[in-house]
Amino acid sequence: MLRRLFGRGGGSGRGGGAGRGGGRGPGRMGGPKAAGPGGFCICPNCGHREPHQAGQPCYQQVCPKCGTPMTRE
């Protein structure tokens, strides 16, 4: 009786561990993994565009027109 309740067997399939290929997905909400040195920073408030400066993230750059932190285009 106990063997039926707590015995082995009856499971199905293989384990779903986080081994090779079982990670947490691509991340970054579908954006590029690393955008690179080129491109533009854009203001989400007024739409002003500035060239991206290498080594400085766009979110640290402030829009010269309205003062809102910019995002990567």
| Strand-strand pairing, 49-51 and 40-42 | antiparallel
Q: How confident is the model at residue 38 (pLDDT cuts 50, 70, 90)?
A: confident
C-beta of residue 49 within 8 angstroms of C-beta of residue 71:
no
Q: What is the pLDDT of residue 21?
A: 62
Q: How confident is the model at residue 31 (pLDDT cuts 50, 70, 90)?
A: low
Q: Is the pTM of this model over 0.85?
A: no
CA separation for the pair 31, 52 (Å, rounded): 16
Any idea where the domains of the chain sit in the sequence? 36-73
Q: Does domain 36-73 have CATH number 2.20.28?
A: yes
Percentage with pLDDT > 70 across the chain: 51
Q: Over the Cα atoms of the chain, what is R_g?
A: 25
Average pLDDT, the chain: 77
Roughly how many angstroms between the first and final C-alpha of the chain, as a whole number? 65
